[in-house]
């Protein structure tokens, strides 16, 4: 091994296998072999995460495998990203800032949505849980996000989604705001003026594609 195509193939396999350490190391080796960062992403990461997404769709892959693949991709991206020109990062289908609202520490559903979005070609910035509106807004502005996705798992924290919509509007963000979480409904999303609602991760991908204009 050492030929560029071999490295990319290995990188591809490492992402598919959810091998975080391997993906990180191979990304470094790709740069060392003179492969352009964008070529490494297109040739090594995208096919790997795409295949993971396909296996998920077919029922072969379960959440642990899918999340591990996304983490391996993220680890490799962390190596490749600094080598990209400042605004030369590819946007994929679009940039998504995602997190669980302030006061709420449930992050499984949010992580699942972020993972599936990444597997479907979005560039995802996961802010974690307990995220105040100000941090959502600052991050969305910093990365020029297309979508801002907020999860709430409690009836008592749902109202923070309303705060977030207000903060995003006030800040004049161009990002569309999407909400989800167990107690959240389309009626709630409408009531708070959110741009989108999905009640599961697969629906969230369809919603995101629609909102960035990739689907009718």
Partner 1 sequence: MDAVRPMLRLFTDEQVDGIVDDALAVLEATGFYVENEEALALLAGAGLRLDRGRAWAPPAAIRRALSTAPARIAVYDRDGALALDLGADRVHFDPGSAAIFCLDPRTRRRRPPVTPDLVQLAWVTQACDHIAAQSTGLVPSDVPEALADRWRLAVALLNCRKPVITGTFRKDAFAVMKSMLAAARGGEAALREKPLAIFDCCPTPPLKWSDLTCQALIDGARAGIPAELVSMPMSGASSPVTLREVVVQHAAECLSGILIHQLACPGAPIVWGGSPAGFDMRHGTTPMGAVETMMIDVGYAQVGKRLRLPTHAYMALSDAKTVDYQGGLETGIGAALAALAGINVVSGPGMLDYESCQSLEKLVLDNEICGMALRLVRGIGHGSAAQAPDLIRQVVELGSFLAHPHTRANFRAELLSPGKAIDRATYGGWEKAGCRDAADRAADEVQRILAKGNPAPPPPELARELRRIMDADARRLGLDAPPPLA
Instruction: Rule CB under 8 A: say whether 59 interacts with partner 1.
Output: yes
- Cα gap 155→103, rounded to integer Å: 11
| Residue number, 7 or 112, with CB nearest to partner 1 | 112
Continuous H helices in 58-185: 63-80, 108-119, 133-143, 159-170
Tokens read off for 92: 């994929």
Least separation in angstroms between residue 67's CB and partner 1 is: 10
For the CB of residue 172, give the shortest distance to partner 1 in the complex, in Å.
30
**By the 8 A CB rule, do 27 and 38 touch?**
no
| Residue closer to partner 1, measured from CB, 122 or 188 | 188
207 binds partner 1 (CB under 8 A): no
Asked whether the beta carbons of 45 and 16 are under 8 A apart, the reply is no
Asked if 186 touches partner 1 (CB under 8 A), the answer is no
Strand order in the sheet with 123-126: 123-126, 95-100, 147-151, 176-180, 196-197
Check residue 112 for interaction with partner 1 (CB under 8 A).
yes
- The smaller minimum CB distance to partner 1, of residues 44 and 53, is found at 53
Name the residues that contact partner 1, by CB under 8 A. Answer: 59, 62-64, 105, 108-109, 112, 155-156, 159, 182-183, 200-201
């Amino acid at each position: 091994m050492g030929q560029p195509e071999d490295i990319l193939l290995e990188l591809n396999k490492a992402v598919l296998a959810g091998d975080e350490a391997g993906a990180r190391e191979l990304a470094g080796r790709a740069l060392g072999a003179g492969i352009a960062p964008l070529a490494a992403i297109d040739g090594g990461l995208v096919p790997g995460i795409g295949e993971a997404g396909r296996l998920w769709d077919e029922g072969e892959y379960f959440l642990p495998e899918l999340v591990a693949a996304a983490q391996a991709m993220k680890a490799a991206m962390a190596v490749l990203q600094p080598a990209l020109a400042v605004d030369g990062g590819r946007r994929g289908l679009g940039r998504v800032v995602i997190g669980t609202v302030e006061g709420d520490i449930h992050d499984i559903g949010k992580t699942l949505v972020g993972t599936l979005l990444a597997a479907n070609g979005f560039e995802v910035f996961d802010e974690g849980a307990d995220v105040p509106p100000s941090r959502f807004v600052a991050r969305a502005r910093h990365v020029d996000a297309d979508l801002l996705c907020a999860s709430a798992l409690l009836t008592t924290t749902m109202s923070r989604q309303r705060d977030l919509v207000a903060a995003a509007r006030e800040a004049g963000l161009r990002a569309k705001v999407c909400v989800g979480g167990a107690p959240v409904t389309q009626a709630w999303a409408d009531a708070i003026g959110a741009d989108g609602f999905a009640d599961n991760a697969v629906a969230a991908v369809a919603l995101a594609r629609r909102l960035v204009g990739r689907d009718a």
